[in-house]
Amino acid sequence: MRSSKALERMAPWIVLAAVTLIWALVCFAFSIPDFIIPGPWSVVRGLWQNAPAISDNALQTFWTTMAGFSLGTGVGVLLGFMLGSSRFIYYSLYRLLVGFNSIPKSALVPILVVWFGIGSVPAVLSAALLCFFPITVNVATGLATTNPELEDVLAAMGASRLDILRKVGIPHSLPYLFASLKVAITLAFVGTIISESIASNKGIGYLMVSAGSQMMMPLVFSGLLVISVMAMGMYEIFALIERRMTSWAQRGAESRAR
């Protein structure tokens, strides 16, 4: 029992080490030059040598993404709430939302630039526009799939629609919401990077374009690495919050895993 728990915790690190080793071996075996695919050592070295500049850009991306993510979450929850609680709103809006979501956001960035200039604003909006949709869908699904017997019991006891929503609807949607938040945070990073690579003087997106045009590929990969780490960190934070707030929904998970 103890050793399997320890193994569970070591597992991701073992996999990471294995992937890094395979990456290094492939680069070595095929003599792939640094400017096509840098090996792990070049990437780490690039990270180390340019740490101040990379961390500067990384912080810019991080805060922009957090702002965009908060905006996207707010809009997503609101829209999901509206779609989940009213059939009329659902039918009038959901097709438009799907259509809108299919538009590549890189096409929208130049329009945002004309309205807001380059910099953080298009990046925040890009992140928000990319990440609101999964949240909307999940919150709407959570609300729409609430157990009808539970709702009937409460209605029979004289609860208003709002009461039912508060006692049954919202708690039921929480697991769905958290699942979507984990997806949305990674999308928010993507949105920020897309905008920064076209329209920003700072940020990991800018770093990747600038380093790419100077053929400094190890630096580009360092940027990618930093984004991955940030996204993984945020994912873990939301997973933690999820365990705290919806532990009642995960009671079966542990026993099933055994």
Partner 1 sequence: MQLQLAKRQFTVAVLCLGASLSAVNGATAQTPIKFSIDWTFQGVHAPFAVAIQKGYYKREGLDVTMDRGAGSGDTIGRVAAGTYDIGYGDSNLLVKFNHDHPDATVTAAFMVYNSTPAGVVTLTKSGIREPKDLASKNIASPVGDAARLLFPAFAKTVGIDSGNIEWTSSQPNLRDTLLFQGKVDAVASYVPSTIMALETFGIKQDDIVVFNYAQYLPGLLGSGILVKPSMLAEKPLVIRAFIKGTIAGLQDALKDPEAAVQSLKQYDALINVPNEADRLKLVIAYSMQGAALKEQGLGFVSQAQLRAGVGLMADVNGIAPPDDLSTIYNETLLPPSAERMF
48 is an interface residue for partner 1 by CB under 8 A? no
Using CB under 8 A, pick the residue from 185, 206, 230, 242 that binds partner 1: 206
212 is an interface residue for partner 1 by CB under 8 A? yes
Among residues 39 and 142, whose Cβ is nearest to partner 1? 39
How far apart are CB 134 and partner 1 at their closest, in Å? 28
Binders in 91-150 for partner 1, by CB under 8 A: 110, 113-114, 117-119
Instruction: Tally the residues of the chain.
Output: 258
CA distance 132 to 112: 17
CA distance 89 to 96: 11
Taking each continuous run of H as one helix and of E as one strand, the counts in the chain are 12, 0
How far apart are CB 114 and partner 1 at their closest, in Å? 5
Helices 51-85, 120-144: inter-axial angle, 10-degree rounding: 40
| Closest-CA residue to 173 (of 147, 208, 212, 207) | 147
Give the tokens for residue 110.
Answer: 């130049």
Among residues 83 and 194, whose Cβ is nearest to partner 1? 194
CA distance 134 to 184: 7
216 is an interface residue for partner 1 by CB under 8 A? yes
Stretch that binds partner 1, among 10-18, 20-28, 212-220, 225-233 (CB under 8 A): 212-220
Residues that bind partner 1 (CB under 8 A): 33, 35-36, 50, 52-53, 56, 110, 113-114, 117-119, 198-201, 206-207, 209-216, 219
